[in-house]
Structure formats: structure tokens, C-alpha cells
Chain A
Amino acid sequence: MAALALTPVAASSLLINLLLPAGGGGLATAVAALLRLIGATLPLTLLFATTDAADLLNDLEARGVGRRAVFVLGAALAAVPRAQARAVDVIEAQRARGLDTEGSWRRRLRGLVPLVTPVVIGSLAEVEDRTLALEVRAFGAPGRRTLLRRLPDSRLQRAARWTMGLLLALGLAARAAGVTGP
């Protein structure tokens, strides 16, 4: 998935640096730019490609992160699919009322306006309802929450984490000492 997402960026970088006179950095510059992009995007992409959001939240809580912070993160992660679902509902409702959301670009653009308001206002209203819903399930109770399950954390996983941390520290130290390039 990550490779697919990066393909157009990689192609653009190579195209600009190898073929166009304005870029003109050559293969080394193209590869360096690509590696920087991969470095910036790959960690998050890998995290969400390999980790279930519920597991992530559960583990953060097990490591002492507060329930409110965990919930805010969870709500942020769920916000995009939720907004998509709401948009689909609104589009279907508007279509049922005769709104034309297909055809030429002009028509689609015109059809967009009546969709935006219900999606945005609906999402805002939903925030209040969800806040109340949390309240009636004792979310504000003092003390630590009970964790329903604890994720397995094998010796190998712990060793991998420590190794990655060590590599990160070494990389930063090498960078600070000027061993690696800019």
C-alpha cells in the first residue's frame, strides 16, 4: 500500500531531476529526495497498515496515557471514516430529493453546495451528542479505567523496540557529529 502511494511521487521526483532542465539534480538528488519522502511518510503508513486502531489505543492506555488523551486520539482516527459515512448518507438523502450529483463538472460542483452544510453542521451536532453519550457511560469517573485485555508483548518485540530506539539514538548522534550528510 505504501509502495503504491509513493509510486507517483517517486516517478515525479525522477522525472523532474533526470529529465527536466529546471530540476536538473541528477539521479543522486532524485534518490535522496525520494528517501526523505519515504522517511517522512513510511513510519505512519506502516503503523496504520500493521496496527489496529483499537489495539493502539488499548496499549497506550496500558502504558499510562490518560483516558481523555486516548479518547481524543481515537476520535481523531475515527473522524475521517465517520465523515465519509455521513457524506454518503447526505448524498443519498439529497439524491432522493432530486439533487443531481452526477454528470458534468459544473453540475457536480453545483450539487456540492447543498451537501456541505448538512455534513459540517451534522458533524458538529454529533460532537455534542457523543459527549453526552460518554457522560452517561461514566467516562468522567475518577481513577484508572479497567483494561479489558492486555496485548501480548513478547521478548522479541521488546528487543526489536529497544534495537530501533538504539538505532534512532545512534542516527541522531551521527547526525549531530556531522558523520552523515545534510
Chain B
Amino acid sequence: MIVLDQASYRYPGTSTWALPTTSLELRPGEVVGVTGANERGKTTLCMVAAGLAPVTIGGELRGRVLVDGRPTVELAGYELAQRCGVLFDNPTVQLTGLHRIVYEEVAFGPCNLGLPLAEVHERTQAALRILAVEHLAGRNPGHLSGGETQLVALAGLLAVRPGHLVLDEPTSRLDPERSLQVADAIARVAGAGVGVLLTAHDEELLARVCGQVIEL
């Protein structure tokens, strides 16, 4: 479970609190939507909930942010990655750009963990399967459409097997058809027991997949 308890955050070198005081809980299998106007702190909330802020990018956190009962500030980056995956709004930066085929790209996370090869394959295939993108396994990651790239980036996160996912405007660059594809994928991921925190302006997406929507 991810818990934000009266959490607020400001980036390094700034005096403004980019994330106003916020509390929320995200349970396994639950999809919580976050909406709000631009500059209200949706992306910052994603960074804070996943622990990247302040663990990786610095800055000041007030209040508590717990992932599976442990404060994010006490966890190393790779430990956080196994508890909470984050999908940025630009999926192209989420791919390493170092792999020839999608399968290797998705396997990057499990390989980083030094898992036995059989488990790497099992996780990679499962991640591709749950998002229904097995057919992309042999494709060049640099030649995918926006929607496909988004799904492959998501598969790369799922292969690390985090208990939670934080998705920052996952459909903001997609057409309605691709958005629907991503929405279905989110529903499948949540159905597999992963808690999903999702920021979006797209009310249709929020209504379709979220059990609860919070406005910032």
C-alpha cells in the first residue's frame, strides 16, 4: 500500500511547495485517479508517491510517504523500483534506446535485478502478455507508434513486478483509440492486484478505470 500522510514537497532550490499538503491511500488492485488544472502538482505527486522525490531528485519532503509500510526516504532507488513503478508522460524517454528488440527492452529491469535467466524470461513474457503486446516482442523499440511505445514502457515497468504503479498522464499523447488500449491495459494490471495511481485530464479515462478520483 502507498500512503501519503499530510505530504508536501518542494523541488531543490525553490521556495514554492510544488505539491500542496496531500493525503491519500492506494491499496493493492485499486485504481485511484488524480485530476486538476496544470501546475497543481500532479506530476510532482507522481514523483513523491513513487519516492523519486526526494530520494533521487532531492528537494524537501514534509509529512510522510510510505510504500508497503516503509518511508520512501529510507529506501534505495532499486528497492523503490521493486515496490512502485512510474510511467512518465513521455514514454520515449522511458525506453533505454540500447536494445534491438522490444523483448530485450522489457527484460532490462529483471536483468538489472540479477534474477536467474528463467525468471527473467518468465517475467518478461508475463508483462508482455498482461498488456496483450506479445506481438511486439520482436519489433525494434525505436519504430513503434506512440501507443505501442507507451505499452512497451509499461511492460518494462511491470516486468520489475512492482506492487504499485504510478502513471503520469499515460494517454496525454495518444489518440482516442490508443487511449482506450491503454485504459484496458490499466484495468488488466489492476485486476492482477497492482495498485495504480493515475493522473489525467481525460475524464473518460478516469471514469472508465478509476474507483476513486481525487482533485488537486
Q: Interface of A with B (CB < 8 Å)?
A: 52-54, 57, 67, 71, 74-75, 78, 82, 126, 128-148
Q: How far is the CA of A181 from the CA of B149 in the complex (A)?
A: 56
Are B116 and A146 neighbours in the complex by a CB distance under 8 Å?
A: yes
Chain B residues whose C-beta falls within 8 Å of the C-beta of A67 in the assembled complex: 112
| Distance between B73 CB and nearest chain A CB, rounded to angstroms | 15
Are B56 and A145 neighbours in the complex by a CB distance under 8 Å?
A: no
**11 A–B contacts from the bound complex (CB under 8 Å):** A52-B100, A54-B100, A54-B104, A71-B98, A128-B57, A129-B90, A132-B56, A133-B93, A138-B160, A143-B114, A147-B117
| Distance between A55 CB and nearest chain B CB, rounded to angstroms | 8
| Distance between B111 CB and nearest chain A CB, rounded to angstroms | 4
Chain A residues whose C-beta falls within 8 Å of the C-beta of B98 in the assembled complex: 53-54, 57, 71, 74-75, 78
Chain A residues whose C-beta falls within 8 Å of the C-beta of B96 in the assembled complex: 71, 74, 133-134
The dominant DSSP class at the A interface is: helix
Chain B residues whose C-beta falls within 8 Å of the C-beta of A52 in the assembled complex: 100
Are B100 and A130 neighbours in the complex by a CB distance under 8 Å?
A: no
Are A135 and B77 neighbours in the complex by a CB distance under 8 Å?
A: yes
Q: Interface of B with A (CB < 8 Å)?
A: 50, 52, 56-57, 76-78, 80-82, 85-86, 88, 90, 93-100, 104, 107-117, 120, 156-157, 160
Chain A residues whose C-beta falls within 8 Å of the C-beta of B120 in the assembled complex: 146, 148
Are A132 and B88 neighbours in the complex by a CB distance under 8 Å?
A: yes
Tell me whether A136 and B52 are in contact in the complex, defined as CB-CB below 8 angstroms, given that A74-B98, A141-B112 are known contacts. Answer: yes
Chain A residues whose C-beta falls within 8 Å of the C-beta of B114 in the assembled complex: 141, 143-146
**Chain A residue at minimal CB-CB distance from B57:** A132
Are B111 and A148 neighbours in the complex by a CB distance under 8 Å?
A: yes
Chain A residues whose C-beta falls within 8 Å of the C-beta of B93 in the assembled complex: 126, 129-130, 133
